[in-house]
Amino acid sequence: MARTIRQTTPYAVKPERLLESLIDPATLKERHLAQGAIDATVREESRSETRLVQVVEATEYARTKTGGQDRSRKVQSTSRYEWDLPAARCQWQYHSPEEERIRIRGSFHAVAAGSGSELRVEVEVSVSIPLLGRLIETFVASDVEKFMKSYQPRVRA
């Protein structure tokens, strides 16, 4: 069973300006480094007036079978961000060597709110490991929630 985390953060800028900050490659790289990546590279896969696809390739520490970090091994992960630019909405998915067991995906949505905007974030964590899946899901979701609380205010807007 998947666990979903939702967060809404207000910003004192228009949604268009918030979107500019969110699609900035430096912001995406900072997001991955803040989550514990050792290194991250952002590349633009495609762009049109209405759609932007960005890919982040990161080096990070491997995970143990219970979801902790194994600092003796490094793995490559890829995150794919598909932006609907007019809607200021993004669907993303994280891919790693553990994705057979642990899946993480989510969305960002910048919306008008009063004289500024709100960033609505949703993250879904799904762990398919017999007996320990729910426990690991709770552990991973807790890490995601801690990251979201610390990272969201740092979005350059």
List the chain pLDDT tens, one digit each, 157 residues: 688 999 999 999 999 999 999 999 999 999 899 888 999 999 999 999 999 999 999 999 887 766 677 889 999 999 999 999 999 999 999 998 766 778 889 999 999 999 999 999 999 988 887 776 677 777 777 777 777 666 665 565 5
Domain count, the chain: 1
> 107 with 7: CB under 8 angstroms?
no
Give me Rg for the CA atoms of the chain: 16
Look up tokens 């350059």; give the residue.
156
Full domain range(s) for residue 34? 3-154
> 44 with 83: CB under 8 angstroms?
no
Cα–Cα distance between 129 and 102 in angstroms, integer? 8
